[in-house]
Amino acid sequence: MTIKAGDKLPETTFTKPTENGPEAVPSTDFFAGRKVALFSVPGAFTPTCSAKHLPGFIDKADELKAKGVDEIACTAVNDVFVMGAWGKGAGAEGKVTMLADGNGDFANAVGLTMDGSKFGLGTRGQRFSMIVDNGVVTELNVEQPGEFKVSTAEHMLGQL
C-alpha cells in the first residue's frame, strides 16, 4: 500500500555517507522532531536526476529552509558510496543530505517502487518528494512515469 499524507513513515534504516565512512540512520531518528523535505530519485547520476532534480534542491535550499524546513534529504536505491560521490560532485554538501536506500527497504516500505529493469536498473524508488513533519507525511508528490513536475523544489516551495 502506498503511503499518503497523514501517515507516519515506517521504520527503516538509511545509510549516510560521512567523513568516517557509512553511517546507519534509522528513519525514526532522522525525521523525529523536525520538518524534512525529502525527495527520491530513480538513480544517482541518471540524466534528469543529475541535471534537474538534485540541482534544483541545492539551488533552492536556502528558500526551503526560510520556509521552515530543517533539513533537505535525497534518497535513491543506490549504495552509500555512489550517493556520497554523487552528492559531492553535485555540490550538495551542507545543503542536501544524501541517504542511501541500498536495498530499497524505504522505497518498498512506503509503496513507491518502480521496475527499472527495462533500463538495467532493477527495482528502484519512484521519483517523488514529500514533506515530513516529525515523522508524519504532510505532503506527498509522486511523479507519473517519465514526468518531472510535482517532485521539484519549486513545487515544494509552493506547498510550504
Residue 32 confidence (pLDDT) above 80: yes
What is the phi/psi pair of residue 108, to 5°?
A: -70, -45
Q: Is 8 a member of any domain? A: no
Q: 60 versus 45: which is more confidently predicted?
A: 60
* Cα 149 from Cα 79, distance rounded (Å): 26
Does any domain span residue 1?
A: no
**How many other C-beta atoms are found inside a 10 Å radius of the C-beta of residue 101?**
25
Domains in the chain, number: 1
Choose, from 25, 36, 49, 140, the residue flagged as catalytic. 49
Verify whether residue 49 is a known catalytic residue: yes
Which residues, at least 6 apart from 92, have a Cβ–Cβ distance to it below 8 Å?
A: 54, 58, 74, 86, 98
Whether 58 is in a domain gets the answer: yes
Please indicate, yes or no, if residue 67 is contained in any of the structural domains.
yes
Residue 32 resides in a domain? yes
Residue 2 lies in a domain: no
**pLDDT given for residue 119 in this prediction:** 84
Is residue 33, in this structure, part of any structural domain at all?
Answer: yes
What's 153's domain CATH number? 3.40.30.10
pLDDT, tens digit, for every residue of 90-143?
A: 999 999 999 999 999 999 999 999 888 888 777 889 999 999 999 999 999 999
Rounded Cα distance, 41 and 78, in Å = 10
Q: Looking at the whole model, is its pTM more than 0.85?
A: yes
- DSSP-H helix ranges across the chain: 27-31, 47-48, 54-59, 61-66, 80-90, 105-109, 153-159
Return d(Cα 101, Cα 118) in angstroms, integer. 21
What pLDDT was estimated at residue 160?
94
pLDDT at 129: 97
Check whether 1 has a pLDDT greater than 80. no
Structural domain for 30, as ranges: 13-159
Look at residue 75 in the predicted model and tell me its pLDDT.
98
Q: Does residue 91 contact residue 127 with C-beta atoms inside 8 Å?
A: no
Distance separating alpha carbons of residues 159 and 104, to the nearest angstrom: 27
Q: What's the average model confidence in pLDDT over 138-157? A: 94
> Within a domain: residue 4?
no
